[in-house]
Amino acid sequence: MDLIELKKIRESKILEHKRKKRAYYLKAKMQKKQSLTKKINSIDYEVELFGGNFANKLKEIAKKQKQHIESREEIIKNKILEYKNKKQQYYNEHKETRLEYDKAYRDKKKEKLKEYRKEYYKQNKEKILAQQKENRIKKKMEK
């Protein structure tokens, strides 16, 4: 046997192995699909929903939900109180920095408002003066 024949034999064995491997995975995939479809098809909704015990099942579900909520009620209340306390503590700790920030923010807004008013009065000076003049004339005529 020479090298070429050995290579051919090796390739054929590799191809055969690949075919077997592919067949195995395809078979496993099909089995998986079939098992999933069996699980889904095993529920008969007409019997479940429209059987004689539909109202009873709803009552059972409602009871379970109510029990769950009641069991968690204290935990939820405690978490809400804990959150409120944390929030209050945070605000008390950072009160000064918050007040400083608020003061700086208000000052900044005042400056912006002043600049806006200056621009507005510059642009509409004539209209404003004319309106004020009309208002004065109206007041004089009313007296």
Q: Would you kindly state where each structural domain of the chain is located, as residue ranges?
A: 1-43, 80-143
Secondary structure E strands in the chain = none
Q: Is there a contact between 68 and 75 (Cβ–Cβ < 8 Å)?
A: no
pLDDT tens for residues 101-127?
999 999 999 999 999 998 988 888 888
Q: Which residue's structure tokens are 């007296």?
A: 143
Extract the tokens encoding 108.
């900044």
* % of residues, the chain, pLDDT over 70: 88
Residue 62 binned pLDDT confidence (cut-offs 50, 70, 90): very high
- Residue 51 DSSP one-character state: S
Q: Is 44 left (phi over 0), alpha (psi -120 to 50) or beta?
A: beta
Question: Does position 68 have pLDDT exceeding 80, yes or no?
Answer: yes
- Residue 94 DSSP one-character state: T
Q: Supply the pLDDT for residue 42.
A: 65
Residue 70 to residue 77: CA distance in whole angstroms: 11
Question: Does position 94 have pLDDT exceeding 70, yes or no?
Answer: yes
Extract the tokens encoding 28.
């496993």
Question: Does position 44 have pLDDT exceeding 80, yes or no?
Answer: no
pTM (global) more than 0.85: no
Q: Supply the pLDDT for residue 46.
A: 66
Residue type, 36: L
Q: What is the mean pLDDT of the chain?
A: 87
Residue 43 binned pLDDT confidence (cut-offs 50, 70, 90): low
